[in-house]
Structure 1
Amino acid sequence: MKNLLKKIIENKDFTTLFQPIFSLSNGIVVGYEALTRGPENTIFYNPEKLFESAKTENLLWEMELYTRLSAIEKFYSFKSDKILFLNVDPDIIRDKKFTKGTTKHLFENIINTSNIVFEITEKTAIKDYVEFKEIIQNYKTQGYKIAIDDVGSGHSGLTTISEVRPNYIKIDMFLIRDIDKNNFKKSIVKALVELANDLDLKLIAEGIETLDELKTVIELGIPLAQGFLLGRPSKELLEMNLTLKDFIKETKSSLEMRKFKSACEINIGKLARRDNAVQFSTLSIDIEKIFLNNFRLHGIAVLNGEKVIGLITKRNFFTQLGTRFGRELYLEKPIEKIMDIEPLVVDYFTPISEVIKRIANREEHKLYDYVIVERDEKYFGVVPIINLLEKSMELELNIAKYSNPLTGLPGNLIIEEKIRESINNKIPFSLIYFDLNNFKSFNDYYGFERGDRVIKYIANILERHMDFYKDSFLGHVGGDDFIAIVKSYEIEKLCYNIIEEFDFNIKRFYNEEDIKQGYITSIDRDGTKKHFPIISISISSVNNRNFLNYEKVIERISEIKKLCKELCKKFKKSYFLMEEEVLAKEKNEKTLANNF
């Protein structure tokens, strides 16, 4: 055995496989993990057998060193500039032969040390952290990076992270497996994401095997991942296939787009979990096996072909089997005999808020059943009620966080996001800016309490009028400034109706004597006593016919707003100014100048 192992080491007769590690921002490979096997078609192809035998024959140091050297040489032959992850056991990394610089001497002529990550695999517990820390620091100063493997299982805990201070943390596949179905795992991983962000560490999710797991880790904010779904270990350096790349980009894009959306705007399909369904002819005994093997699964959609015809819940299924003669009556019968034939089935594009309303109107014993999602009248997936409620609360809290506390309307971050989204979608829209004239003097004269009432009043007017326009958006820039996005170029009637209602009711916020004289006397910004007319409103608008980006639109609306306020001041009344009027005037002036 010893001679055979020596021969394998001397000839570097290893099989090296490379598993890609991908960025979850764009699907690009950032590095490869080297996985070493013994010669193919031998018992040593199993890595555990290879290294255990080497340990028994006191050849572990040589085996560890030359498998890594072989991996680096093979990796170098691909001329890749990516990072190479090499698994290292703590017992070996402490070996004096390993720490004398042999590693660096062998590696430095082949590959840049900054492209190597020592992946600490804790097969055995680290007994002396002080000594181990010094050794790790030694490698860091030589340019190597450090990763802690299998975090979340056994030895790889917070103590190791705290003492080693790695560059990468690899989340064990146990925590990733079925994470889309397990809220407890989600909470643990969320905490790790927050920890990694605070400490400037990079997280890698290991063992991704399903699209739902991939989608969930992206949503949780994990930046890197590997797993059989993304790329299996191979003798070649694999890239991600285009379908998966598109899925990652779509998920990231969807995540960004719904960052500031409410439950009224997000489709239920975005939350759907792609669980396997069963056909109505499936026997109950097979359903029992599915539930017993998936203890976190609480429901299964039942189909006839691709059409949803029912739902079987774990609760109802085992209740039926638990009745007298239940197993004899149902176990060898098709599941259609005991399935719910009236599950809640919704279309992919149904808003979350509407689904929640429909759930609230269901019978009490069905309140927590899965929602089944169809797309194009075919089964698509399921949404557990807890996921639906969590997402709805998250969306509303996020909106509230970035909303104006006085009016409850979305604030500047959300406004910018909505304008950019409208521009990117290339949907015809008008951007309307509302600004009150003489509001500051009113606020100084009557006090902030009455000033706040005026702000709430204008917000109420704008909200009511915007309700007549489908998919319109209203935001509160701050103070007495508001902005709206209307998916139409025909906005004259809207704006003149707002002016009419505003002008008719604004006087009720003034004292009777001030209304009679038509002004209030207050101090202007220069400290001079001055007469200020009754508050009026200036409304400016631009559309996206000619502008390609956010900066141009904002620049143009600012110009129109300034001109509109000057007209309000000149005519001492509310005014609505469209971009078209300004452009027409500029064109006429240019024509006259040319003729002259």
Structure 2
Amino acid sequence: MNNTAVNELDKIIGERQIKTVFQPIVSLRDGEIHGFEALSRVTCPSLLSNPEQLFQTALAYNRIWDLDDLCRSTALHTIREQSSFSKNHHLFLNINPNIMKNDQFSFYFTRQYLEQFGIKPNQIVFEITERDSVTDMERFKNTILHFKSNGFRIAIDDAGAMYSGLNLITDTQPHYIKLDRRLIQGIDLGKLNFALVKGLAEFCRISNIFLIAEGVETQSELHCLMDLGVPFAQGYFLRKPAEQLHEIDDGIKKIITDFHKSKHNVFGNPSANSYIANICTPTETISMGMRVERVLDKLKADPDSIGFCVVKDGRVKGIVTKLHVTLNISGRYGFSLYQHQPIAQLMDSDFISVDYRMPINEVSKIAMSRAQEKLYDFIVVTKNDKYLGTVTIKDLLQKTTEIEVIKAKYENPLTGLPGNLVIEQKMKQYLLEKKTFGILYLDINHFKEYNDVYGFENGDRVIKLLADILVSYLPLGQFVGHVGGDDFVAILNSEDLHYYCEQVSNEFQRKVLHHYSPQDLEKGYIIAENRLGITEKFSIVSVSIAGIYSQCLNGTNMIELTEKLARLKKKSKRQKESNYLLIEM
């Protein structure tokens, strides 16, 4: 860097030539805004207009404190003027870890300081970027603990951008992990980044950490992230950064909500039973100031009590269980020492708290990953971070078992789609009700040969790819099931059939190319043995679709319907110009 850049940096800081733009962080469960990331932009013509270059220059020339302070204060002053920033929103602030551990920062960035902006500590999320090295990890860990104890939240930003991320995650135990946008680009194409994000999503579920995907730019990437269970995302597809706070467009919300309705669709209705709120029970809460002696009396008076949530201003600060209290007051002087103390002195602040919309199976994974001594503690359920109720381990295990039994009976284990039993029931239902509908039978051309060359694991990935595409383009209230192998059935309204076939066929043809080697793609074929054991060339796999539709399939029974579909399937595979064949009855 030369003196010109330094002079421009000093000018930007001295003249406060910085503005804040906000990009929403969106819930991938319902499309609502979870919070906003504050992003800094230079307001004057400058060689340092690129934010990354701006901060690198400030770091190199010892101006990082001044620049960081300017950006942060500008963000807070700007958000104060935004009436649409509510108490349920979070403000994500980027901060250099070496600034954060500075005593001066800890001294002034307090609850009292935030009051002038109308913000509480639990609304602030410090984004610590993985790109910035931490020079004194022990001191930094103590700083993180200090801010956590005061209600602030921590996020690791750009996870996956550098190699130190896992150490930083384990050292800080953050509330959020933000995935670097390079891990998100092309995730829908089934590349290595898909496997990495899938693993991180599972890790975060077990660790009770919220995962945020950055840089979402296409609907297909969004669908893939929702399918992996990533709870939050941001990116240009959802909403570009802007100086004013904006709601998410209704079209984006519809994409998110429709995806989940389709995902949980068996008979055209979403399954509300899969969410933890379904088995949540409102239980008695106590205040932080209640004396230990009084809490013990309440526990003794109700032998069936699971314990209490300690609540302040509607938020759960800790939990009290019989075992926890008994262990703490046991001993020669335990009761005498604590009986007149407030329960806040004894409550357990290390407890599991989950959002009411979290799926039951995810809650079960989190609960079962706890240490042995906490394995049977009840689980706290919240709505908008406020206390809603509790779930006992007994109720959780019973419901989880019930769901797993239903899944084993009705769902295909590879794709999670309804299996043969449900498909048959669905077809009978439509025939009996004499509904207007069309039925499609889909499979993959040359799948056996692909499987022989690339192996079962890659074959399963291609089947899963088709299943995901079938679900993502399925109109709301329609049905898709997995017969087995590479065979699927879809039942739709007649007017949706042609569009659905075209979209599924085109999307599969585009994405399946990423499941071939560069050499085979260049040739345009693979060499394998056919069913007679003769070696020949086979083109890139494609979707074959046979369909029947009518204003009313009147008088047709199940046997006739399946026989007609079987004949059409063979005929559709012989077609050269189209991948699908629809016959009106």
TM-score, with length taken from structure 2: 0.48
Q: Given the two structures, how large is their TM-score scaled by the length of structure 1?
A: 0.47
